[in-house]
A and B are shown apart, each in its own frame.
Chain A
Amino acid sequence: MSTLTLYMQYIVNGLTLGAIYSLIALGYTMVYGILKFINFAHGDILMVGAFIGLLVYTALTGDASPSAWTLTAFFISMLVSMVACAILGMLIERVAYKPLRNANRLAPLLSAIGVSFILSNGAAWIFGTQSRRFPYPFENEPMHIGSISITPHQIVVIAVSVIMMVLLTFFVNKTRMGKAMRATSLDQPTSQLMGINVNRVISLTFAIGSALAAVGGILAAFDFRVYPSMGTMTGLKAFVAAVIGGIGNIQGAMIGGVLLGILEAVGAPLLHIPNGMKDTVAFAVLIIVLLVKPDGILGKNEREKI
């Protein structure tokens, strides 16, 4: 295999990984856009999403070999998990963040870290700490395009992510609720005067972000398996992706995620970084972005007026 096709292969792999980061990064960025607050429990919501997806899927199919039914069951379990996580996200906001909305900015952040611990330790308590395999609901025989191989799993990940992001873009830009959301992110008190129920917008933001995290968690489960602390590293990297793209910016999170996935997949072999150290790439990228363009790729470059 020539070096070029090898790197083409890395890019395909990076795209898959990046699509998952994008889905999760959207939750960070949407919440930040509206509340100027980083929801550190977001990574654990994706873990809960993966667990719920796995439970529903195994309940529906047992250990059946891939068929049309398992594929249907996969999408059903994804839908159930999205709804469950949306409710969980709204609940967390209501209980752990809303009472602190007028408090010092550090307070909700600490509360978020607390929620994160509750979720991951709660999952360890209920499900145990061993990791579980998410069975493929389809035959995962790689296909070959030229000398690049692409698995059905990768196609599903990319297709599902693209569909979710297209739906979200339409929702945010074309519906009245999306408009209310964008208005709220510009200026909360003023939007309230325009007759927008800001509390409802915030709940909706958490619901959408958490539902996307559930999808991300299930898609990530194929590669990373399902275990209580699976959200920590994936969540952290998705947060890095949101910062790279410009936190608070929806398109930025999409671009940042894909970019981070590709940089990680290409960067590690290019720089001869051993497998165990692969995660350093993401954080090195974060440091570079923070030094060079702290507002991220699509972030507004706002200078304080003097």
Chain B
Amino acid sequence: MRILETEHLTREFGGVIAVNDVDFHVEKGLVTGLIGPNGAGKTTLFNQITGMDRPTSGKVIFDGKDITGLPAWKISRLGIARTFQNIRLYKELTVVENVMMGLHFKVGKDPFHHRFAQAVKSYVFASRENREVYHKAMEWLSFFELEEHAQDFAGSLPYGKQRELEIARALAAEPKLLFLDEPAAGMNPSETAHLMHVVDKIRNLGVTVVLIEHDMKLVMNICDNITVLNFGIKIAEGTPNEIKKDKGVIEAYLGREEEE
């Protein structure tokens, strides 16, 4: 079953077509990889889907609903979470507080669309609610093996752990679909190995994952499906084994073989 589809999605910046008529789709419950050389339009595609930017034309369908052009906060409420190439944590808050932030504004809990009775309840039981949120946050931290850092400032964590914390916070909001933009960028081999283990655990939770990644070992090992972009155009899609053998993909990455 498809949880996400884009139809003829196009984004132009001036004369440059960053994403060109892309039909991208994501199967529910699987890990989908989005790969392509630098500048292929991968992050631009992410931005169109998660509401960080509006497409020039085309549609984004999530869970059967047209979400094209909705603002980021609304899309995040519908159940799409994401992380960024450049880490976006509340650096002045502690690790556990960052995850609590994800929990407080969880999917469906809009601070402005609260029924009155619920608002009163959350006010009267604020300390109990905070305790519950704290415990839930600690559970997420132990899921990511970050509990020993719970009281450290997020900005003081090593790079690889900051990335995992960002994923933990995104997951705490219990999204249906999780976008990871180059999660392994800047990680050392042991951090990358741990990340692969984590992504596998996330899939086992039943969360659909889409990731942009340049680390081919990671992509080939962990993804169920792979879509390849080049110059904004989808050039291939399939299982890792199909992608490895695809002529167009090899050309895009290594260049055309010399004719002899």
Residue of A nearest to B127 (CB): A174
Q: How far, in whole Å, are A179 and B89 apart by their CA atoms in the complex?
A: 16
Q: Is there contact, CB below 8 Å, between B126 and A192? A: no
Known: A190-B88, A195-B110. A183 touches B122 (CB 8 A): no
Q: How far is the CA of A154 from the CA of B76 in the complex (A)?
A: 49
Interface-forming stretch among B38-46, B54-62, B97-105?
B97-105
User: Does B13 reach chain A (CB closer than 8 Å)?
Assistant: no
* Chain A residues whose CB sits within 8 angstroms of the CB of B89 once the complex forms: 190
Q: Is A195 a contact partner of B90 (Cβ separation < 8 A)?
A: no
* Cβ-defined contact, A174 with B105, below 8 A: no
Question: Are B77 and A183 in touch, CB under 8 angstroms?
Answer: no
Interface string of B172-198 (1 = CB under 8 A from A): 010000000000000000000000000
Separation of A196 and B106 alpha carbons in the complex (Å): 10
Question: Given the interface contacts A195-B77, A195-B110, does A186 sit within 8 Å of B93 by beta carbon?
Answer: yes
| B104 with A179: CB separation less than 8 A | yes
Q: Which of B99-153 contact A (CB under 8 A)?
A: 101-102, 104-107, 109-112, 114, 119, 122-123, 126
Is A304 interfacial (CB-CB < 8 Å)?
Answer: no
Q: At the interface, yes or no: A193 with Cβ under 8 Å from chain B?
A: yes
- Chain B residues closer than 8 Å to A301, beta-carbon distance: none
Given contacts A186-B92, A187-B90, A190-B89, contact A180 B111 (CB under 8 A): yes
Whether A198 sits at the interface, judged by CB under 8 Å, is yes
Chain A residues with CB under 8 A of B101: 183, 194
User: Which residues in window 8-64 of B have CB below 8 A to A?
Assistant: none
Interface residues on A, range: 20 to 34
List chain B residues, Cβ under 8 A from A176.
104-105, 109, 111, 114, 119, 122
* Per-residue contact bits, chain A 168-205, to B (CB 8 Å; 1 contact, 0 not): 00000011110110010011011011111110100000
- Among A174, A175, A180, A195, the residue within 8 A (CB) of B76 is A195
Q: Which residue of A lies closest to B108 (CB)?
A: A195
Say yes or no: A179 contacts B111, CB within 8 Å. yes
Contact A195 B105 (CB under 8 A): yes
Q: Which of B62-96 contact A (CB under 8 A)?
A: 71-74, 76-77, 81-82, 88-90, 92-93
Chain B residue nearest to A300 in the complex (CB): B92
- The residues of A that contact B77 with a CB separation of less than 8 Å are 195
Are A197 and B112 neighbours in the complex by a CB distance under 8 Å?
A: yes
Chain B nearest CB: distance from A173 CB in Å?
8
Chain A residues contacting B110 (CB-CB under 8 Å) are: 195, 197
> Which of B81, B105, B126 meets A180, CB within 8 Å?
B105
A260–B111 alpha-carbon span in the complex (Å): 36
Q: Is the CB of A189 within 8 A of B73?
A: no
A193–B76 touching, CB < 8 Å: yes
CA distance A21 to B136 in the complex (A): 42
Contacts of A300 in B (CB 8 A): 92
- Whose C-beta in chain B lies nearest to the C-beta of A171? B123
Determine whether the beta carbon of B105 is less than 8 Å from that of A198. no
Q: How many angstroms between the C-alpha atoms of A177 and B193 in the bound complex?
A: 40
- Closest Cβ of chain B to A177, distance in Å, is 5
Tell whether, in the assembled complex, residue A177 and residue B111 are in contact, meaning their CB atoms are under 8 Å apart.
Answer: yes
Nearest opposing residue in chain A for B75, CB measure: A195
Q: Are B104 and A193 in contact (CB under 8 A)?
A: no
Q: Contacts of A195 on B, CB cut-off 8 Å?
A: 73, 76-77, 105-107, 110, 173
A192: chain B residues at CB < 8 Å are: 71-73, 76
Residues of B174-228 at the interface with A, using a CB-CB cut-off of 8 Å, are none
How far is the CB of B71 from the nearest CB of chain A, in Å?
8
Let me know if B88 and A193 touch, CB within 8 A.
yes
Residues A191-226 near B (CB distance < 8 A): 192-198, 200
- Contact partner, A200, options B92, B109, B112, B126, Cβ 8 Å: B112
Contacts of B104 in A (CB 8 A): 176, 179, 183, 194
Q: Separation in Å of the A179 CB from the closest CB of chain B? A: 6
**Which residues of B are found within 8 Å of A189, using beta-carbon distances?**
88
Q: Residue of B at shortest CB range from A190?
A: B88
Kindly list chain A residues whose C-beta atoms are within 8 Å of the C-beta of B82.
193
A177 / chain B contacts, CB cutoff of 8 Å: 111-112
CB closest residue in chain B, given A204 = B112
A200 to chain B, nearest CB (A): 6
The reply to whether B73 and A198 contact each other, CB–CB distance below 8 Å, is: yes
Across-interface contacts of B76 in A (CB, < 8 A): 192-195
Whether the Cβ atoms of A190 and B90 lie closer than 8 Å is: yes
Per-position contact with B for A262-292: 1 when CB-CB < 8 Å, else 0? 0000000000000000000000000000000
The answer to whether A174 and B123 touch across the interface, beta carbons within 8 angstroms, is yes
| Minimum CB distance partner of A180 in chain B | B111
Question: Closest B-chain residue to A174, C-beta based?
Answer: B126
Given contacts A174-B126, A176-B109, whether A187 and B73 have CB atoms under 8 Å apart is no
**Hey, which bits of chain B sit against chain A, CB under 8 A?**
71-74, 76-77, 81-82, 88-90, 92-93, 101-102, 104-107, 109-112, 114, 119, 122-123, 126, 170, 173
* Residue contacts A-B, CB under 8 angstroms, 6 given: A177-B111, A183-B105, A193-B81, A193-B170, A195-B173, A196-B73
Identify the 3 closest CB pairs spanning chains A and B, nearest first: A176-B111, A195-B76, A180-B111
Excluding A179-B111, A180-B111, 13 further A-B contacts by CB distance (< 8 Å) are A175-B111, A175-B119, A176-B119, A180-B112, A183-B90, A183-B104, A190-B89, A192-B72, A192-B73, A193-B73, A194-B76, A194-B104, A197-B110
